[in-house]
Amino acid sequence: MRVDARGFTFEVTVGGPPDGVPVLLLHGFPQHSGEWDDVVPTLHAVGLRTYALDQRGYSLGARPTAVADYRVPELVSDVMAVLDALGLDAVHLVGHDWGAMVAWAVAARHPERVRTLTAVSVPHPSAMAHALANDGRQKLRSSYITLFRKPGKAERVLLAWHATALRMLLGGVGDTSRVNRYADPMREPRALTAALNWYRAMSRADLAGVGPVAVPTTYVWSDKDVAIGRTAAEACAANVTGDYRLVQVPGVSHWIPDAAPGALAEAILARVGGTA
User: What is the rounded radius of gyration, in angstroms, for the C-alpha atoms of the chain?
Assistant: 17
Q: What is the 3-state secondary structure (H, E, C) of 85-130?
A: HHCCCCEEEEEECHHHHHHHHHHHHCHHHEEEEEEECCCCHHHHHH
Q: Judging by beta carbons within 10 Å of its beta carbon (0-12, 13-18, 19+), is residue 97 exposed, middle or buried?
A: buried
pLDDT at 104: 98
From the list 86, 134, 126, 130, the residue with the least C-alpha distance to 104 is 126
Do the bridges between strand 48-53 and strand 21-26 make them parallel or antiparallel, or are there none, so unpaired? parallel
pTM of this prediction? Answer: 0.98
pLDDT tens-digit profile of 148-166?
A: 999 999 999 999 999 999 9
Domain count, the chain: 1
Mean pLDDT of successive 10-residue segments in the chain (276 residues)?
98 98 98 98 98 98 98 98 98 98 98 98 97 95 97 97 96 95 96 98 94 98 97 97 98 97 98 75
d(CA 207, CA 202): 8
From the list 87, 142, 91, the residue with the least C-alpha distance to 113 is 91
d(CA 223, CA 114): 27
pLDDT at 206: 94
pLDDT at 273: 86
pLDDT at 17: 97
Q: What CATH number did the domain enclosing 152 receive? A: 3.40.50.1820
What are the phi and psi torsion angles at 262 (to 5°)?
A: -65, -45
pLDDT tens-digit profile of 47-102?
A: 999 999 999 999 999 999 999 999 999 999 999 999 999 999 999 999 999 999 99
**24 is in which domain, residue-wise?**
2-275
Q: Is 78 helix (H, G, I), strand (E, B) or coil?
A: helix
